[in-house]
Structure 1
């Protein structure tokens, strides 16, 4: 006859309270409201819980009771690995995590590939609010977020007017960089930009596509360039602008090659991110072009790798962006209208920009 095995049942909140001779509220407070107990009593509750195998309050039941998930959702319309691979995204993520740490709340990453329409991840996310990081204005995941009855903060893009937002003045920042190049004598330029829409386009960009870009940050940066060079007498419609869907150095290399193959006589290649600019520098080296003696190359973001390379760029406070977005979302004060935080940028005049070797000011692009 087989012997029956005695299986020890896990402790419950009630059995733990009975073992300690305290109320169930006291046990609950040890986990959820530790400030209500003396350090000695809380330590005794937690030590006894470990000895008896009590796992703590059920987080699902607690969220149902309090209607709080205890977490912020970060919507990235990229694959999850992008958040840990792209330096600007990584800096933003660090700043947001710091804000969550300060508030004692969790952080849930909600990746949504730009080539997928499924918004189930947004619907399933158990969060108290969303931070939306740099998405196009027609993204279905953004629409799904805005349907949720929770606070939302947008970082960078899109600027939709009725939602709290954190960002920079991309247009003015790029205008300042363009003026710096114009003052050096550059008129014959090319541009490499990040993706402008959700459809894949790895090629030249018309002025119409620039104006209709669903990624507002790229649209603003291109607009800043167009304004500055138009004021300097350059016909912007003749400036070669090449778009890349994927954001990596390989894309920067390929795009730079496309521009230089079309017009080897350009004196400056302006990139709308440092990652693309670093790729462009690789392509220039492959062609035997010296930077900046033969070709000026500029970027945007101010990542550490760009600083080490001496890149002329625009530094933006990516960590502070994340921290500001988190603080804005977690601020439970009265909200009567959408709030906006606009952070400052800094033009970094590195070693990759110089006056053209021959200042051919015949205004090739001019009227």
Structure 2
């Protein structure tokens, strides 16, 4: 192989590399580079995820090579044309480098799949994922909620305390994206992107593939069947009447109040930020646990529902407010006397069955 490529083009592909920096299997610390015609396919993997780029280049001699990613990065960071060879000799202008090359035969090629199309508009899916912002990571003890779920007509995520969901027109096999891959997936969900699933076993998809222009991402999905979120939402207890509240004044007040929400000297293991959110006779206010500090934000209230007083983690409220695409939110307070009561928030005059955020209150 002997191919010439612009360093900026190669650097852009390297930024999206999924190759690990350390691994007991050193082969996957390399990129598979395959040059032919007037293009170069640049592929990286951690064995669960594959990222491919088809890049323009000048090919003097077609062929393949496995080149160490960590050493390609500094070479591509400077401007100029880069020459790649299958023996690991890489040059940029008058500069020459030796990049460790592995045997091409050792590359863990992606398993062939019987791909089937997912008929969701990629921009609609991207918007839904951004609104469902609580994808649980691998440390979450509740295995059935790990990852971000596309299932049963909903895109939803939960970390066991907060839950958000958005209705989408999808009734195919359940898709559960690992939390660590959500941001990478979002980067490819653009107009014209092609979404496919493979490895389907019953009602579970095993692999998700997105092709956007000259980029392609394949993600090995989590295999557990997701829980029935519609039933969880149905069982949540919150006041039937809501308060209509201006989003931005509430958002700004919660962020201002954060320093008062944590007791000085507390660590993450001993205590979490807590605020009291209360409505009394149409007056909305924030307070700390002891109610020694208070901020009144009645100017944010457009219409007040029943009085309420309950505690929550302010960071969860900030996250939900950031995800709601509306200047006014409908806020249902936890129903009094219910052990599984929850906050429910959604776009004012919106449909809570289509998209909403649920936050479990904290015990004082």
TM range (shorter): under 0.3
> Quick check: which one's strand share is greater?
2
> Quick check: which one's helix share is greater?
1
Between structure 1 and structure 2, the one with the greater Rg is 1
Tell me: higher relative CO, structure 1 or 2? Use CA pairs within 8 A at least 6 residues apart. 1
TM-score by length of 1: 0.24
TM-score by length of 2: 0.24
